[in-house]
């Protein structure tokens, strides 16, 4: 798998956008388009359903040298052997965690200790807190209004500029990023982006993914 520092394009298999497509088919298209990381996000699915989807996706990402991120469920990430888990502020800090090593050590016998943890952040103080907690990467956003999280207030390019000047671990700009806005996000200092709807809603997922990859 690519080193996290070398990852630029972070994409999603989000069940809210599948429209009947098989998760593993979308994962394959994202890999073919040049994605570096793929997150499985299934907010309305049961843990067993998420586990089964992850088990079908993982062989595809492994063959493509792409890291698989499990959203919200570190236990599932450990059990299936995914390389990453991503958590929101409320899923990590509000759950009582203070350092990501607590999640790694939760697995009896040390299995899954290599799962890398990403945390969402929406303001500089949250970024600083996530970094102090040992996050392997952080997400900076939502930069723009997004249907993925319609109630979230955009952090604007100001937060991207702050991250470019202050964050030294890998970070990804996320939220409403399209090919039309990507240049502005990059000009603000981002070098890595997460893209959800602009790729998953495209007529050709592989081509859309490749277009972002080329621009990056």
Q: How does pLDDT run across 12-25, given as a tens digit for each residue?
A: 999 999 999 999 99
Residue position matching structure tokens 């993925």? 148
- At residue 108, the pLDDT reads 47
- At residue 103, the pLDDT reads 85
CA distances (Å), origin 6, targets 36, 66, 80, 204: 8, 11, 24, 25
Query: How many folded domains does the chain comprise?
Result: 1
pTM comes to: 0.95
Residue 2 has pLDDT above 90, yes or no: no
* 46-69 tens-digit pLDDT: 999 999 999 999 999 999 999 999
Average pLDDT score over residue span 87-114: 79
* 138-172 tens-digit pLDDT: 999 999 988 777 777 899 999 999 999 999 999 99
% pLDDT > 70, the chain: 96
Residue 194 has pLDDT above 60, yes or no: yes
Name the residue range of residue 138's domain. Answer: 4-215
Query: Is the distance from CB of 61 to CB of 31 less than 8 angstroms?
Result: yes
Residue 212: partners with Cβ closer than 8 Å, 6 or more residues away: 9, 33, 179, 182, 193, 195, 198, 199
Three-state DSSP string of the chain? CCCHHHCCEEEEEEHHHCCCCCHHHHHHHHHHHCCCEEEEECCCCCHHHHHHHHHHHHHHHHHCCCEEEEECCHHHHHHHCCCEEEECHHHHCCCCCCCCHHHHHCCHHHCCCCCEEEEEECCHHHHHHHHHCCCCEEEECCCCCCCCCCCCCCCHHHHHHHHHHHCCCCEEECCCCCHHHHHHHHHCCCCCEEECHHHHCCCCHHHHHHHHHHHC
Residue 95 belongs to domain with CATH number: 3.20.20.70
Give residue 106's pLDDT band: very low, low, confident or very high (50, 70, 90).
low
- At residue 112, the pLDDT reads 54
Cα–Cα dist 84/14, whole Å: 16
- At residue 186, the pLDDT reads 98
Q: Which of 10, 46, 13 is nearest to 175 (CA)?
A: 10
């Amino acid at each position: 798998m690519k080193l996290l520092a070398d990852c630029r394009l972070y994409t999603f298999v989000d069940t809210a956008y599948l429209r009947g497509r098989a998760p593993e088919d979308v994962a394959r298209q994202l890999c073919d388009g040049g994605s570096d990381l793929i997150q499985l996000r299934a907010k309305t699915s049961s843990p067993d359903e998420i586990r089964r989807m992850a088990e079908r996706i993982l062989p595809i990402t492994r063959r493509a040298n792409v890291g698989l991120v499990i959203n919200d469920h570190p236990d599932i990430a450990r059990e299936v052997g995914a390389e990453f888990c991503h958590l929101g502020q409320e899923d990590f800090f509000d759950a009582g965690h203070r350092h990501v090593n607590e999640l790694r050590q939760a697995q009896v016998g040390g299995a899954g200790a290599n799962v890398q943890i990403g945390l969402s952040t929406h303001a500089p103080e949250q970024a600083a807190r996530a970094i102090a907690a040992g996050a392997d990467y952080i997400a900076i956003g939502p930069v723009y209004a997004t249907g993925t999280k319609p109630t979230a207030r955009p952090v604007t390019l100001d937060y991207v500029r702050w991250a470019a000047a202050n964050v030294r671990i890998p970070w990804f700009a996320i939220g409403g990023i399209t090919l039309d806005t990507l240049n502005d996000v990059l000009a603000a200092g981002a070098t890595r982006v997460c893209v959800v709807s602009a790729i998953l809603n495209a007529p050709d997922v592989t081509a859309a993914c490749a277009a972002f990859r080329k621009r990056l």
